[in-house]
Amino acid sequence: DNGGTANGGVDLDPTAKTITFNVTPFNRAPVITSNGGGANAWVSVTENSTSVTQVTAADIDLPAQRLAYSIVGGADAARFVIDADTGLLSFASAPRWHLPADANGDNQYQVVVGADDGSLLTTQALAVTVTNLPDAPVVTAPLSATLLENTGVPIAGIGVSDIDGNLSTVSLRVQHGSLALDLAGGATVVAGEQGSSRITLSGNASQLQAALASLNYRAVRDFFGSDTLQVLAKKSRTAR
């Protein structure tokens, strides 16, 4: 009786019994691994470039499923684009540190990216900080000036500027004449001298601009022909 009381509880049927288990697959969400992983991450990039980061994720299900990457939110989501296949995240247009375009104007752009396996979505909130890349000073000058032999002429229209606000010196040089400026605005001579062919001025932007506004050129005696004025602006190493 297969273990009944009639045989003292002994199973007289030697046939093995089989139990079948049905294990159904359980889909697990992708795991974002880039930028340290986790729900929040931080990235720092320099201005004037569109490249940001590459979002990567792992699918622990077997067989692994194809993942799609997307931008799913963030205050500055419209400023970014992402490659759905590779996860490459970029600015839609290169940011400028001096002209922040993020929602609150602090050069920290907020975007939420996601990795999707077709059923489940995992997100990561990224704070992308844009840092300053120092710009070269800008020099503007007239194309030419004309004067008679053995005379002098004011050189109007020379301008120097630095978007970073770190302008420190301006060097002037000619080959066949001399230069003179009015230093009442506060600029000082740190190389060369007044009335010579070379002179370097030091000061802040407004002081240097005031001096340049008074620049006067005089050719050497009996010289006629073409001469060239070279203007070189430099900025300090200390960023503001």
pLDDT at 150: 84
Q: What number is the average pLDDT over the span 113-124?
A: 95
The DSSP call for residue 34 is: G
Tell me the mean pLDDT in the region 228-232: 93
Is the per-residue pLDDT at 71 higher than 90? yes
Tell me, what amino acid is at 69? Y
Given a cut of 80, whether residue 120 has pLDDT beyond it is yes
Answer yes or no: is pLDDT of 198 > 70. Answer: yes
28 phi, psi to nearest 5 deg: -110, 145
Residue with token string 């230069």: 179
Tokens of 13: 């049927």
Q: How confident is the model at residue 13 (pLDDT cuts 50, 70, 90)?
A: low
Structure tokens at 113: 């990216």
Residue 240: pLDDT over 50: no
Q: Two tokens at 152?
A: 């002098």
Q: Please give the residue that has the higher pLDDT: either 111 or 119.
A: 111
What are 41's strand-pairing partners? 126
Is the per-residue pLDDT at 211 higher than 50?
yes
Cβ atoms 101, 110 nearer than 8 A: no
* pLDDT at residue 122 greater than cutoff 90: yes
Residue 111 has pLDDT above 90, yes or no: yes
- Note the pLDDT tens digit of each residue in 34-64: 999 999 999 999 999 999 999 999 998 777 7
Q: Over 70: is that where the pLDDT of 224 sits?
A: yes
Percent of the chain with pLDDT over 70: 92
The model's confidence at residue 5, banded by pLDDT at 50, 70 and 90, is: low
**pLDDT-derived band at 112, boundaries 50, 70, 90:** very high
| Mean pLDDT confidence for 201-230 | 93
Amino acid found at 150: N
All residues at 6 or more sequence positions from 185 whose CB lies less than 8 Å from its CB, including other chains: 203, 206, 207, 209, 210, 211
Higher pLDDT pick, 212 / 144: 212
Residue 188 has a pLDDT of 95
**pLDDT tens-digit readout, 78-101:** 999 999 999 999 999 999 999 999
Q: Using CA atoms, how far apart are residues 162 and 233, in angstroms rounded to an integer? A: 9
**What is the per-residue DSSP string for 121-140?**
EEEEEEEEEEE--PPPPEEE
**So what's the pLDDT on residue 239?**
45
Tell whether the model's pLDDT for residue 238 goes beyond 60: no
